[in-house]
Amino acid sequence: MKKYLPLLLILLWSCQAEVEDTKEQSTPEKPEWAIVIHGGAGNIQQNGFSQERQAEYQQKLEEAIKVGSVILENGGTSLEAVEASIHIMENSPLFNAGKGAVFNALGQNEMDASIMDGESGKAGAVAGVRHIKNPISAAIAVMEKSPHVLLIGEGAEEFSANNEVEITDTSWFYTERRWKSYEKMKQDKHGTVGCVALDKQGNIVAGTSTGGMTMKMPGRVGDSPIIGAGTYADNHTCGISATGHGEFFIRNVVAYDVAAIMKYQGKSIQNAATYVIQDKLKSQNASGGIIGLDGQGNIIMEFNTTAMFRAWGSSKQPVASAVFKGD
């Protein structure tokens, strides 16, 4: 009998673990799936932003979040949801990503994007691409089909073309609004897009796509394609997508910092996000924000600007969108 005692103990322990797992899964507050997106953050003055324009943005944001929500509701993966939601925003001239990408100092569009899978820890990114219609798909191709994490410029474009990612002429990215802001040399800094999703399998994926900053130097790379700065995902902590003044987000390793605070200090995603955005970045005069969610489907949208284009939803919450603080 004595020799079976360890076996019995293991058996008892595993039954107990199973009971606890089921308890966790059936916690009433935890949604089956959740999704959150951003379309950039900035210090926009509400009185200079017409209601029609705000409605136009919110309509697009809601279209994007609905596409991701339907995928998740039907049992699709968070990767599929993130890619589809970001495509809607990349194909719209409203956001600084894909179609609406801003112009650099030479009047060219150079785009960056990244993706990270919170289950496997795999990641993919592209930077400085000029002919890829949906840079988020190129980032996914790098993650899934290459042994690397980050490809830049022509190498990234050639790789994408060989992996069925749509290539387009640079004229696709011409929008009058961005050209005007380039011509006026305005510092139209914000408008990046991002998405973080939790699927029914409990997997978190985060993705970000951007045209960078207006008038940036050719070859400049921001935080958006840098894993840990603009994008991060780990099923054990959270998924994060950032938007804002990229140089500060790189120096502060923002997306990973939120995850690290959760992991090493045991803080909630909201506490970690508030600290990084409102204390740490604000004290450096760094503007921007983040969206994210944890493994329990808790969503955060934290920004230190007047506005962040954002939308969210889950199996327990109908989709909604907002622009200004307090909306």
Binding residues (CB under 6 A) for ligand ASP: these are 40, 96, 189-192, 210, 212-213, 222-224, 243-244, 246
Q: Give the nearer residue to ligand ASP in terms of CB position, either 124 or 212.
A: 212
Q: Give the nearer residue to ligand ASP in terms of CB position, either 241 or 321.
A: 241
Q: Give the nearer residue to ligand ASP in terms of CB position, either 192 or 304.
A: 192
Least gap, CB of 285 to ligand ASP (angstroms): 15
Least gap, CB of 243 to ligand ASP (angstroms): 4
Least gap, CB of 96 to ligand ASP (angstroms): 6
Among 77, 168, 170, 192, the one annotated catalytic? 192
Least gap, CB of 110 to ligand ASP (angstroms): 10
Q: Give the nearer residue to ligand ASP in terms of CB position, either 98 or 244.
A: 244
| 243 is a catalytic site residue | no
3 state SS for the chain: CHHHHHHHHHHHHHHHHHHHHHHHHCCCCCCCCEEEEEEEEECCCHHHCCHHHHHHHHHHHHHHHHHHHHHHHCCCCHHHHHHHHHHHHHCCCCCCCHHHCCCCCCCCCCEEEEEEECCCCCEEEEEEECCECCHHHHHHHHHHHCCCCEEEHHHHHHHHHHCCCCECCHHHHCCHHHHHHHHCCCCCCCCCEEEEEECCCCCEEEEEEECCCCCCCCCCCCCCCCECCCEEECCCCEEEEEEECHHHHHHCCHHHHHHHHHHHHCCCHHHHHHHHHHHHHHHHCCCEEEEEEECCCCEEEEECCCEEEEEEEECCEEEEEEEECCC
Give me the active site residues, please: 192
